A and B are shown apart, each in its own frame.
Chain A
Amino acid sequence: MARSWLEYKAPAWVQWCPGCGDFGILNAIYRAVAELDIPPERLVVVGGIGCSGRTTFYVKGSNAHALHGRAIPMATGIKLARPELTVIVAGGDGDLLGIGGGHFVALGRRNVDITVILFDNAVYGLTKGQAAPTLPAWIKTKALTSPNIHDNVNPVLLAFSAGYTFVARGYAYHTSQLKELIKTAVRHKGASFIDVLQPCPTYNNVMTNKWYEERIYYVGEDYDPIIRTREDFKEKLPAIMEKLLEFGDRIPLGILYWDQTKDSFEERLEKIMPGYMQAPPGTRRISVDGRPIVDPFEVFKDRVIVT
């Protein structure tokens, strides 16, 4: 191990409530990027708005803090301009699946090589505990004046159907297992998604640590989520669907789906524009001695007319 996780700890007061699941996720991120030996200046953590978004300031990296819901498009722009960087999105359930739901789906379609970590506590913490898209119907947390009458979205199934090529679920307090999931997700070339269940001790008095502990289990060795060929997909789909759909008395954790057959968006760009990766937009030279490198009369011949 080349680096200590402490190297990634940014000097800042971590403002989360005592007992918050976010601490577990943050710790898992530190350890994962340390074990992956990613230089901090090459690590980009893009945070949304909400408690989870503050992760941007707690991980030492070359980071950006986006608008509410817009972490994914911002991360997409960063990654496509500099595909050599490691880009991780840290966002909450309201951020990624509520206000940013459209972008969450679009990332799957593009399969950009970004790791999305969903801090899933089913409530809006910073605005006093309103129901988030992952709160099941008829749950009445203390913060709600009446029971939640919206159904909950299934984040892993949504990610699967949107086209994410790596879909996993972790638990915030299981730091070691979560660290391994993050490492695998980051190594995967494509859009990866980890739904991290986490209690919000301040606002979600129903889905508590105890509530989760009674339900969660890790998928076993016998469960094979890896798709290596299209035939694989057909064969394994029923078992994968079963795991993706399971959320109730039992909640599976671990890698639920991992498609290794698809090109990332950057690879697709390289296919239509060979050379893109070698001279990506973020770092390529655009001028020589302060002068442009293309002449409109040479490049835009379709508009030139010789009279």
Chain B
Amino acid sequence: MTDLNIIIGGPQGGGIESAGQIAVKSLVLKGYNILGSREYHSNIMGAHSYYHLRAKEDKPGSLTLPVDALLALDAETVLTHYREVRPGGIVVYDPAVKATRVDSIQPMAPPLKERVKKDLESRGLPTTAEGALKAMESEGVKLVGLPLKAMLRKVSEEAKAPIASVSKTVNTLGLSAMLYMLGVEPGYIEKAISLQFAGKEKVIRMNVAAARIAVEYVREVYGEPEVLPDGPHKGKVRMVASGNDLVAMGKIVAGVGFLSYYPITPSSDEALYLERHKYVKLDDGMAEKVGYDRLSVVAVQMEDELASINAAIGAALAGARSSTTTSGPGYSLMNEGISLAVEAEVPIVVTLWMRAGPSTGMPTRTGQQDLLHSIFSGHGDAPKIVIASGDHVEAFYDAIKAFNWAEIFQSPVIHLLDKYLASAMASLDREELDLSKVVIDRGKLVDNPGEGYLRYKITEDGISPRARIGDAVMYMTGLEHTEDGKATEDPVAREQMMFKRERKMRKVLEVLPEEDKAVLYGDPDADVTLVSFGSTKGVILDAMKMLEGKGVKANFLQIRLLSPFPEDLVADILSSAKKVITVELNLMGQLAFLLRAHTGVKPDSQVIKVNGRPIYDYEVVEGVLKALDGAGRVVVSGGS
């Protein structure tokens, strides 16, 4: 069984992204499933960033530490990650960085410098990159130094290319050396390079030349490595996409017509990807069926999030499948709009990519701190639908379901995800994005409302026929209103509307299948039940297997629907749980709070992580073991 873990680090803008992408593509071409996350600073260029990658035969649900190989494109990377490579692993680096002192690295965070210096000093090592390399060597990590300058000269000479284009191959030299040492045949690396730079022949030629020179060098110095066996996923049409990408794809498949946004991490990349595909040529058969041949999505960068949500509401009123995308700070600004969408019963989808708060916090780091924020957003008793996706595949389908639910229940739907999922890449099979599973349901949307139409007609399920603005004389408002949408302060009419809106939420719980509410994975009779939501899903599923190896039988309750909370279902599942441990990436234990509020179940223990890095499989294991030892709250803190 292959389980390959890699970190590729360097200065932001220094080729980490393409190196990471080439690594991902090489391993996918080789037949593996991959999971790769990007960790980076809130900075344009120069600060440390890294790609953290895992390749397995089955789907990796989690990233993990320590890794098998570290590619360090600068001294800061060596000094940041030297404690994250396993004995027997390798580090690929440029010997020219050795003399760099910790203190001289300006972009490096001062607290990290202090920790590193303390560690190196305690080992009697110099506080330089060389000290860190020695620390690795003493723990059995193989040091692979690449003489970059000599290699670049060779690339320049052999490819007969100006140094300008050769300068783009520094990352490729290191990456190819590392992948080759890990047993990836050069053919895969070269094919991945061609895919990465498709359409840029010169760049491909240069990078392929660099890959060959790097491979030749390490083969000469370190000998032929053992070849990594091929994975089981060869000969397939697959997809490699980030969570941001998959949500954008889901929206387009769902028929989104309008997307408003204001740039904010980690949501902007979703909007950018959607914009790249906002104009789709339909094939002739489909064009005939729908009556138009070019599908256009109006994607507008608004002046702020207040405008984003209110423009999305306007487009939804006019009949478009309408959405906006943001993260915590932007969602704070959208709160009043959420309340309006509840009161005026507007079907909008708000994609909320959680990041590390409070306030601006750490914009490029992950967290699950907006659970309560999303549920309780909007003033004045504003019930809404909140769905959290556990992984890339769920992110795609949930983006589509969110539009269906928004229209069926005429309610805002908050699609809750996080920065980790936003930027993490995953490999997917065609069957995993299966359109036969996708239904487009627009609920009680009516094309010809006719005379005497009442927008807020009182009905048994609370849902009124919905006409588009422009098709009937009608009134939509955030003021309390009568059935015809006219403002009222009448106590009886008011109460009717309050309960009408409440009935819709009851209907949500009645109509949604269990798999969209809460899912129990593993043996129902397990010794311990882990409860979580969102992107921890894969991590916990991986950790369950590791726990089993340690004699702990755990199952996992994933809560998908956070509002309205499926309390009967969750209470029922938890009633037979022997021990309940929540796992979440926030300080308050927001899910634990919801469990108590809705089911009366007080978790026996909570595993939390708040350092802005994704949670890893071994941390869940460690957390559960400590919890079983009686710890009430376990804080896990891995990652760089």
- Where the two chains meet, the residues of A that have a C-beta atom closer than 8 Å to any C-beta of B are 12, 40-42, 44, 46, 54, 56-57, 60-67, 69-70, 72-82, 84-85, 102-103, 105-106, 269, 272-276, 278-288, 290-297, 299-300, 302-307
Contacts and interface: CB of A to CB of B under 8 A. Distances in A.
Top 7 nearest A-B pairs (CB, nearest first) are A281-B257, A77-B314, A286-B255, A279-B292, A287-B440, A65-B477, A81-B318
B297 A281 contact: yes
B350 to A, nearest CB: 14
A62 B486 contact: no
Interface in B451-493: 468-479, 486-487
B319 A275 contact: no
A105 B317 CA distance: 23
B314 A300 contact: no
Nearest to B340: A67
Given A44-B470, A63-B475, A292-B254, A285 B318 contact: no
Given A41-B473, A284-B257, A293-B255, A67 B316 contact: no
**Most chain A CB inside 10 Å of its own CB: which residue of B29, B254, B400, B468:** B468
B375 interface: no
A62 B290 contact: no
Interface stretch (B148-156, B235-243, B363-371, B572-580): B235-243
Contacts of B477: 56-57, 64-65
Contacts of A46: 314
Interface string B258-296: 101000000000000000111110100010011111111
Interface stretch (B108-116, B305-313, B620-628, B631-639): B305-313
A292 B440 contact: yes
Contact of A305 (B195, B245, B296): B195
Nearest to A100: B306
Nearest to B339: A67
Contacts of B253: 292, 294-296
A292 B307 contact: no
Given A269-B298, A290-B441, A297-B239, A77 B279 contact: no
Nearest to A11: B486
Main secondary structure of the interface of A (DSSP, over half): mixed
Contacts of B307: 70, 72-73, 76, 102-103, 106
Given A292-B253, A300-B239, A57 B293 contact: no
Given A296-B239, A297-B433, 7 more contacts: A62-B472, A284-B295, A285-B290, A286-B442, A288-B290, A292-B438, A299-B280
A206 to B, nearest CB: 31
A303 B28 contact: no
A288 B475 CA distance: 30
A84 B245 CA distance: 32
B487 A57 contact: yes
Nearest to A45: B475
Given A78-B314, A297-B239, A41 B303 contact: no
Interface string B86-125: 0000000000000000000000000000000000000000
B292 to A, nearest CB: 4
Contacts of A54: 487
Given A57-B475, A106-B307, A82 B435 contact: no
B505 interface: no
A176 to B, nearest CB: 26
A80 B133 CA distance: 58
Given A292-B253, A299-B252, A304-B237, A64 B298 contact: no
Contacts of A284: 257, 290-292, 295
B233 interface: yes
A282 B255 contact: no
A286 B257 contact: yes
Contact of B249 (A70, A269, A300): A300
A307 B234 contact: yes
